[in-house]
Amino acid sequence: MRRNTVLALSTVVVMAVVAALLIVLTRGDDSLAGVSVTEGEVPTINVDEPVEVDPGDPKVDTLTEGDGREVAEGDYFRANYIFADGETGEQLESSYEPPAEGAPASSVVFEMTPSDEAASPQSAPGLPGGLVDALADTTVGSSVLVALTAEDFFGSDVYDQAEAQGGADQLPYTREQVLLFYLQIEDSIDTKADPAPKGEETDLPAGVPSPIVDGDSVTGLDGAGATEPVADGVFPVITGDGDAVEADDYVYANYVGQLYPDGEVFDSSFERDAPSLFSLTGVIPCWTNELTGQTVGSRVVLTCTSESAYGEGGGAGGAIPPNAPLTFVVDIVATL
């Protein structure tokens, strides 16, 4: 199975840590009485009777209700999933399958919002609108089974356009075909929470650019007296008491980036008034190396050599010239 098939179509679903012994999960109601889920090293969906679902009316069974926070629209969440045919139970895609040869299987991070409204689609894709509605009120730790039509999943516009162009038979599923998702939510980020850093304040060492703070925002860095040449480093301004960041985490952060030591600001989530989500394995090496080990709730200053940033090619649409050292202020709001 190749995970990118469903992700490319903005499909999303979730399931998580499985028991060592096989267990058939019980359900909270009988709306999907003909379907059961058998847990194991790789869980399976069992269809005793083909599922019937009306367009616009997904069926949802909460198999296990978690005791974590409710995942609200706009939140980020980490989950495992199985995507299956509603008539046969055939597994079409699963996060339990390695995404590439030699790569480990892993859970996936999504945003609980329609696909076309996702804030960080490269880091965390959104969901089809029908699935967002179906997952309303789901809590962290829950395992959920959802059945909905392909039209509700992909959107009626996809089918209308394909039919108008005579290509409906090229789509992978008919409008009425029922799709099943077994999902379990492992963790989430509350994007409505106050993103301000919380912790013990620390004086910066001499020679490190300092944040320029304006109310709740950081507008840049004061590099007067900054050390030259720059070296990679991380310098806490506020040390939070949350979990330590791990090298493969997704980091939800507010930040401002500037040419070292006090040049032009080339990017700022503070200006957008919303933190961003990053996979720490998908950012510049300076971020990956220096943010690892820092704690949630912290505000830190990063200094980055050109070699650990954008190198000879520069970046940010030309705003970062070739061979430019950089400096950042990063507020670590949360991790997944």
Q: Please write the tens of the pLDDT for every residue from 90-125.
A: 989 999 888 777 778 889 999 999 988 999 888 899
**13 pLDDT band (50/70/90 cuts)?**
very low
Cα 116 to Cα 120: distance, rounded to the nearest angstrom: 11
37: three-class secondary structure by DSSP? strand
Q: Which residue type, as a one-letter code, is found at position 176?
A: E
**For residue 228, is pLDDT > 80?**
yes
Query: Under a CB-based contact definition with an 8 Å cutoff, are residues 9 and 154 in contact?
Result: yes
Averaged pLDDT score across all residues of the chain: 88
Percent of all residues in the chain with a pLDDT value above 70, rounded to a whole number: 91
Cα 154 to Cα 120: distance, rounded to the nearest angstrom: 20
156: three-class secondary structure by DSSP? helix
**For residue 4, is pLDDT > 80?**
no
Q: Which of 38-47, 58-67, 125-134 has the highest mean predicted lDDT (pLDDT)?
A: 58-67
**3 pLDDT band (50/70/90 cuts)?**
very low
**68 pLDDT band (50/70/90 cuts)?**
very high
Instruction: Provide the 8-state DSSP code for 135.
Output: T
Amino acid 50: pLDDT? 86
Average pLDDT for residues 39-48, to the nearest whole number? 84
- Model pLDDT for residues 125-171, shown as the tens digit of each residue: 998 878 898 898 999 999 999 999 999 888 888 899 989 999 888 88
Amino acid 299: pLDDT? 98
**For residue 15, is pLDDT > 60?**
no
Amino acid 84: pLDDT? 92
**257 pLDDT band (50/70/90 cuts)?**
very high
Query: Under a CB-based contact definition with an 8 Å cutoff, are residues 241 and 188 in contact?
Result: no
Q: Which residue has the higher pLDDT, 69 or 15?
A: 69
Helix then strand count (H, E) for the chain reads 6, 18
Query: What is 191-231 written as a DSSP string?
Result: TTS--S--EEE-PPPTTS-EEEEETTEEEEEE-TT--SS--
Amino acid 178: pLDDT? 94
**79 pLDDT band (50/70/90 cuts)?**
very high
Average pLDDT for residues 265-283, to the nearest whole number? 96
- Model pLDDT for residues 188-216, shown as the tens digit of each residue: 999 999 999 999 999 999 999 999 999 99
Q: What is the largest CA-CA distance in the chain?
A: 73
Amino acid 168: pLDDT? 84
